[in-house]
Amino acid sequence: MSTKNIQDTLKPIVALAKRRGFVYPGSEIYGGFANTYSFGPYGVELKKNVKDLWWKTFVHERRDMVGLDGPILLHPKAWKASGHLEGFNDALIDCKACKGRFRCDHLIEETLQLNADGLSVQQMNDLVTKNKVKCPKCGAQDFTEARHFNLMFHTHMSKTGSDGDVAYLRPETAQAIFLDFRNITDTMRVRVPFGVGQIGKAFRNEITPGNFIFRVVEFEQMEIEYFIRENAWEKTFEAWLQDMHKWCKLIGLSPSRVHEKEHPKEQLSHYSKRTVDLVYDFPFGTSELYGLAYRTDFDLKRHAEFSGQNLEYTDPETREKFIPHVIEPTFGVERTVLALLCDAYDCETLENGEERTVLHFHPRIAPVKVAVFPLMKKEPLVEKAMHVFKKLQKLWLCEYDEGGAIGKRYRRQDELGTPFCLTIDFDTLENDTVTLRDRDSMKQERVPINQLIDLLSEKLI
Ligand code: GAP
C-alpha cells in the first residue's frame, strides 16, 4: 500500500467532508456565506464525540475541576474590562480598484515574505507604500490606509436599536468564567488550585479566507480557566502543557505532527505573560491548533475594578485573601475536527491496484462505531442482521446497510472512518457467528454473536 503526501490533501478532504456529510458550506443555496459551515450528520457526531471526551477528561475525571455554561451575551462593560473593546483588532486594508479587503499583516507576509507580527498600523502602512505592494487579487497598486477593525460582532439588546444598547457576541468563552468566579467560589466547595471548564460558541468577525474550517466566524471553544497562587504558575503551566499533549494523543492525532510554539514577548496578547501554542502540521502549513496562556490576575483584577465588586478568594484555612492567577488551556473544536480529518485521511493503493479512501479515526472519536450488513438483501439474513444491529445500537452509534455489493458498503464505511463492519452471512444462520472486519487492516475474523459486545467494548475504548 502507498500513502499520499499530506501536503496534497486539503482539497480531497474538503470534498470528502461534503460528500460524506461531515461539513457543508454555510448557506450554500444562497451562494454561500463567507467563513461559515454546517456540520452534517456525521460531522455533528464527530464534534460531539470530541466535546464529550474533553468534558469527561478535563471535568468529570478530575477532582480539581467544575463545569460552567455561561451566556454568549455578557454585560457590555465586561468587554471594556477584558480589553477586547480596545485591543481585539486586526489591521485591515482595502484595494480601491477591486474592493478586495485584506488583513494587512497577512498581505505583508504573503507579498513581501516578512514577519509582520507586532508591527504597528503605521509601520505596516509604510511597508505597503515603500514596497509598492500590489493587490493579490487584481494586481492594482492602489490601497487605502490600513486601519483597526474590531473583531467582535455586535447587536442591540432593546427596541430602540441605539448605540447605547449595543451588546457583543463573545469572542472567547473565557470571560463568562471570570464573571461567575465569585458565584462558583460561593456555591461550590472549590479550593485554589481549581479550574472551571466550559464548552461553547464564540464569534469573531474574521475577514480572511479561512482554509476551510480552520478560521471561521462562528466556532466553539473548549476552555479552562485554572485558578492558582501566583508562585505556582510555572509548574502549573508545564503540567497543563503536558496534559494538552496527552489530549492530542487521546483523540488519536499523530504526535509527530503536533509541536509547541512559544510566543515571543512582543507578540503576547494584552493579558498574557507567557503563551505557548500547540501547532499542527495542517496541509496548508503548520498552524495554531490550541493555546496555553498565563493570564496572570489580569482578568479578575479588571472585572473587580470595573464592576466595583470584591473578587478576592479567601483561603479557608489561613483566611488569607488574594486574587488568584490564571493558567488558561484553550482548545478550538473546529480546529480539532480539521486536524482529525487531516490526520485520519488516507488514499491508499491496494495490492490489486484499486484506490481506497479511508479515514483512520481513533475508535474513541469515530462518528459511527460499527456497521452491520446482511450479505444479501434476503430473508432470513435481513432479519438476523437487524436483530444484531438493534442489540448493538443500544450501546454505540451503529449503521445498518443492506444495499449494493458488500465491497461498496465497506468502502462507504471506510470513508466515514467506521472502525468495524459486521457481516451476517449463511454461516451465521448455521453457527451464530459473524464476520468482523477491521477498517485499518481490512482483515476479517469470525466472532460468535454472544461474544460481540465484550469484544467490541474492548476495541472501542
Ligand atoms: N481565551 C483565549 C482565546 O480565545 P485564542 O488563541 O484567540 O485564545 C483559542 O483562541 C482557540 O480557539 C484557538 O487555539 C483555536 O483553536 C480557536 N479559534 C480561535 N479563532 C478561531 C476561528 N476564527 N475559527 C476557528 N477556531 C478559532
Q: What angle do CA 305, 309, 310 make, to 5 degrees?
A: 95
pTM of the model: 0.93
Q: Residue 459: what are its φ and ψ, rounded to 5°?
A: -75, -25
| Ligand 1 contact via 219 beta carbon (within 6 Å) | yes
What pLDDT is stored for residue 308 in this prediction?
A: 97
| Ligand 1 contact via 49 beta carbon (within 6 Å) | no
Question: What's the rounded Cα separation, in Å, for the pair 172 and 222?
Answer: 10
CATH fold of 368-459 reads Rossmann fold (3.40.50)
The minimum-distance atom of ligand 1 relative to the CA of 217 is 23
| Ligand 1 contact via 295 beta carbon (within 6 Å) | no
- Hey, whose CA ends up nearest to atom 9 of ligand 1? 330
Supply 436's cell numbers.
Answer: 468482523
| Ligand 1 contact via 335 beta carbon (within 6 Å) | yes
How far does residue 164's CA lie from ligand 1's centre (Å)? 29
What pLDDT is stored for residue 119 in this prediction?
A: 83
Question: What's the rounded Cα separation, in Å, for the pair 277 and 99?
Answer: 34
DSSP secondary structure, 190-218, as one string: --SSEEEEEEEEEE----S--TTTTS-SE
Q: What is the CATH number of domain 89-150?
A: 3.30.40.230
What pLDDT is stored for residue 268 in this prediction?
A: 86
What pLDDT is stored for residue 8 in this prediction?
A: 57
- Hey, whose CA ends up nearest to atom 25 of ligand 1? 215
Per-residue pLDDT 10s for the chain (461 aa) are 333 444 456 999 999 999 999 999 999 999 999 899 999 999 999 999 999 999 999 999 999 999 999 999 999 999 999 999 998 888 999 999 998 888 898 899 889 988 887 788 889 999 999 999 999 999 999 999 999 899 999 999 876 666 678 999 999 999 999 999 999 999 999 999 999 999 999 999 988 767 999 999 999 999 999 999 999 999 999 999 999 999 999 999 999 999 999 999 887 888 899 999 999 999 999 999 999 999 999 999 999 999 999 999 999 999 999 999 999 999 999 999 999 999 999 999 988 899 999 999 999 999 999 999 999 999 999 999 999 999 999 999 999 999 899 999 999 999 999 999 999 999 999 999 999 999 999 999 999 999 999 999 999 98
How far does residue 104's CA lie from ligand 1's centre (Å)? 20
| Ligand 1 contact via 290 beta carbon (within 6 Å) | yes
How far does residue 221's CA lie from ligand 1's centre (Å)? 7
The residue length of the chain stands at 461
Q: What angle do CA 129, 135, 137 make, to 5 degrees?
A: 175
Q: Return the bridge partners of 226, or none.
A: 195, 327
Specify the 3-state DSSP secondary structure of 240. helix
Q: Where are the domains of the chain?
A: 6-80+154-340, 89-150, 368-459
What pLDDT is stored for residue 6 in this prediction?
A: 44
Question: What's the rounded Cα separation, in Å, for the pair 80 and 273?
Answer: 20
Q: Return the bridge partners of 197, or none.
A: 67, 224
Q: How many CB atoms lie within 10 A of CB 125?
A: 19
Any residues with CB less than 8 A from the CB of 146 and at least 6 apart, and which? 91, 92, 93, 104, 121, 124, 125, 128
Q: What is the CATH number of domain 6-80+154-340?
A: 3.30.930.10
How far does residue 262's CA lie from ligand 1's centre (Å)? 16
